[in-house]
């Protein structure tokens, strides 16, 4: 016996005989709508993106600026081994210092180091000639403008650049070449920013997700319900401008008493993956090897010292490469052209004078005890540092006051006549 399959009723018959209701639903822009933009993804192999990331993101700009400030921020000074016997002077040092002053070398080194870290390299076009420093020339080449680099054995022979639509070629002999983290014979080095690009993209995506959650919390999803046609309410919601109210009329009593009109779906603002955000942030800090106030302030004294030691190793590495480049591409050629008998050495920081450890308070106290400093000189020293004791001269005689004469006594005194002498 064959099995009889029941025949499926048409949908309109089910609605007719069984009273089935058909739900009408639609979507549209809500009353709390906010425009959302996509997250830009920086490209690890694009040098322009390195500079865009530095300009636009604090997590990139902070470590770069911090390393530059620690490396070059205190300036530099030159030193030599040979000085004249009497005046203790050096013609080599005087000339190199004059060159640095003419071309504002200490400030330009900050600019060069920043470009070097971001781009991985930084060329400087310089033409060195014999004679006064003013006859030389100095121009920093932005890495973004460099379109091609020709080299032999890691030595740059020529670069091509494009600035404002104009092409330009610079010979390698006219270039000083600063490079960060070189690999093999590649003169382009490796950008300090490049290692943070992937982390930055991931962190930006996660941050954007959190931002969407916060915006949804501020503007929750609204579900509008009515037994009548929904088109009027929908148009009112979609066409509503910010600050405008929605007015609804001809409502039944049951609609007025409906507390869920509209029904709002609220999002929990407690983000469950905040630890993931902190994890990405720690990875950036671990990579940068630059000071970070947030991590240092929460570290123990021993941990803070170890963190500073790691940072200082990185700083000294950058300083060493910068020092070698300056001495090789600037100081040595200038010394040869001008017949200087010594190539000065570059030192970072403030030049020492030999009296940094002397305590002036002890010197003054001992001078007073031994009688080398008089009381007047002591007061002058105090006044020089802002302490004025005023004039307290004990030897100064007080002005004598004239005795007062009683008016009646003065009347009894007879004055001599003019011819009585």
In terms of DSSP bridges, do strands 263-265 and 221-223 run parallel, antiparallel, or are they unpaired?
antiparallel
Residue 360: partners with Cβ closer than 8 Å, 6 or more residues away: none
Q: Provide the sign of the torsion angle of the four alpha carbons 406, 411, 416, 418, taken in this order.
A: positive
Asked whether residue 395 carries a pLDDT value surpassing 70, the answer given is no
Instruction: State residue 379's pLDDT score.
Output: 79
How far from the centroid of its chain's Cα atoms is residue 324's Cα?
Answer: 26
Per-residue pLDDT, 87: 81
Asked if the structure places residue 342 within a domain, the reply is no
Q: Please give the pLDDT value at position 256.
A: 67
| Residue 326 clears pLDDT 80, i.e. is over it | yes
Confidence band for 357, pLDDT divided at 50, 70 and 90: low
| Average pLDDT rounded to a whole number, residues 29-52 | 71
Lowest-pLDDT choice from 146-150, 154-158, 369-373: 369-373
pLDDT at 239: 74
Whose CA is closest to 125, among 136, 140, 104?
Answer: 140
Instruction: Decide if pLDDT at 102 tops 80.
Output: yes
State the pLDDT at residue 360. Answer: 72
Residue 49 half-sphere exposure toward CB, CA atoms < 13 A: 14
| Arithmetic mean of pLDDT, 246-269 | 69
Q: What average pLDDT does the segment 54-64 reach? A: 89
Q: How many residues does the chain have?
A: 421
- Count of CB atoms situated within 10 Å of the CB of 343: 18
Does 170 or 232 have the greater pLDDT score?
Answer: 170
The verdict on residue 138 lying in a domain is no
Does the pLDDT at position 310 exceed 90? Answer: no
402: confidence class by pLDDT, cuts 50, 70, 90: low
> Of 24-28, 29-33, 133-137, 302-306, which gets the smallest average pLDDT?
24-28
Does pLDDT of 26 surpass 60?
no
Structure confidence at residue 4 as a pLDDT band (50, 70, 90): very low
Strands of the sheet containing 155-163, edge to edge, are: 146-152, 155-163, 166-171
The model scores a pTM over 0.85: no
243 found inside a domain = no
Does residue 312 register a pLDDT over 80?
yes
CA atoms within a 13 Å half-sphere pointing along the CA-CB vector of 36: 16
**Is-contact 115 122, C-beta < 8 A?**
yes
Q: Is residue 372 part of a domain?
A: yes
Average pLDDT, integer, range 45-60: 89
What is the rounded average pLDDT of the residues 398-415? 51
Mean predicted confidence (pLDDT) in 313-341? 94
pLDDT attached to residue 33: 56
Q: For residue 21, what pLDDT is reported?
A: 45
- CA–centroid distance for 421 within its chain: 98
Can you tell me the mean pLDDT for 15-23?
A: 44
Q: Give how many domains the chain has, as a whole number.
A: 1
- The two structure tokens encoding residue 22: 């058909």
pLDDT, tens only, 158-169: 999 998 888 999
pLDDT band at 271 (very low <50, low <70, confident <90, very high): low
Residue 78 lies in a domain: no
Predicted pLDDT of residue 16 = 41
* Local structure of residue 186 (DSSP, 8 states): B
Residue 113, classed as helix, strand or coil, is helix
Which pLDDT belongs to residue 252? 74
Domain assignment present for residue 347? The answer is: no
334 in a domain, yes or no? no
Q: Is residue 158 part of a domain?
A: no
Kindly write down the DSSP assignment for every residue of 160-226, as one continuous string: EEEETTEEEEEEGGGEEEEESS-BTTBTT---TTHHHHHHHHHHHHHHHHHHHHHHHHHS-EEE---
The range of the structural domain enclosing residue 374 comes to 352-392
Better-scored residue on pLDDT, 60 or 27: 60
309 vs 20, higher pLDDT: 309
Predicted pLDDT at 113: 96
pLDDT tens column, 176-205: 999 999 888 889 999 999 988 888 888 778
Share of the chain above pLDDT 70, in %: 72
Rounded to an integer, the average pLDDT of 236-265 is 70
Least confident piece of the model among 6-10, 92-96, 207-211 = 6-10
Q: What is the average per-residue pLDDT within 364-374?
A: 76
pLDDT, the chain, mean: 78
Average pLDDT for 318-345 = 95
Q: What is the pLDDT of residue 98?
A: 95
Give residue-wise pLDDT tens across range 74-86: 899 999 998 888 7
């Amino acid at each position: 016996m064959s099995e009889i399959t029941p025949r499926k009723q048409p949908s309109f018959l089910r609605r007719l005989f069984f009273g089935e209701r058909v739900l009408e639903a639609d979507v549209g822009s809500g009353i709390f709508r906010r425009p959302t933009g996509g997250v830009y993804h920086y490209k690890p192999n694009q040098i322009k993106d390195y500079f865009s990331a530095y300009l636009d993101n604090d997590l990139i700009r902070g470590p770069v600026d911090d390393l530059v400030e620690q490396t070059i921020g205190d300036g530099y000074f030159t030193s030599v081994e040979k000085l004249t016997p009497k005046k203790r002077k050096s013609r080599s040092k005087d000339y190199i210092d004059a060159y640095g002053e003419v071309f504002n070398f200490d400030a330009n080194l900050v600019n060069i180091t920043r470009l070097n870290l971001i781009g991985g390299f930084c060329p400087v076009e310089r033409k060195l000639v014999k004679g006064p420093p003013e006859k030389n020339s100095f121009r920093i080449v932005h890495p973004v403008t460099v379109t091609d680099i020709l080299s032999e054995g890691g030595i740059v022979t020529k670069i091509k650049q494009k600035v404002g639509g104009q092409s330009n070629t610079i010979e390698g002999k006219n270039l000083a070449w600063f490079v960060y983290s070189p690999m093999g014979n590649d003169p382009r080095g490796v950008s300090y920013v490049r290692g943070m690009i992937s982390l930055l993209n991931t962190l930006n995506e996660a941050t954007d997700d959190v931002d969407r959650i916060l915006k949804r919390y501020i503007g929750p999803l609204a579900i509008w319900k009515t037994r009548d046609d929904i088109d009027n309410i929908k148009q009112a919601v979609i066409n509503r401008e910010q600050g405008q109210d929605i007015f609804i009329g001809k409502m039944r009593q049951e609609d007025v008493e409906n507390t869920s009109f509209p029904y709002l779906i609220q999002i929990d603002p407690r983000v469950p993956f905040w630890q993931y955000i902190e994890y990405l942030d720690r990875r950036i800090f671990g990579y940068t090897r630059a000071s970070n106030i947030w991590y240092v302030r929460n570290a123990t004294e021993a941990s803070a010292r170890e963190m500073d030691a790691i940072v200082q190793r990185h700083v000294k590495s950058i300083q060493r490469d910068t020092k070698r480049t300056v001495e090789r591409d600037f100081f040595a050629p200038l010394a040869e052209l001008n017949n200087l008998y010594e190539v000065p050495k570059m030192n970072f920081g403030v030049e020492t004078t030999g009296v940094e450890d002397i305590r002036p308070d002890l010197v003054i106290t001992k001078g007073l005890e031994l009688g080398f400093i008089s009381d007047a000189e002591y007061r002058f020293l105090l006044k020089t540092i802002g302490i004025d004791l005023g004039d307290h001269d004990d030897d100064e005689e007080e002005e004598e006051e004239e005795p007062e004469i009683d008016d009646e006594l003065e009347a009894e005194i007879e004055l001599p006549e003019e011819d009585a002498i």
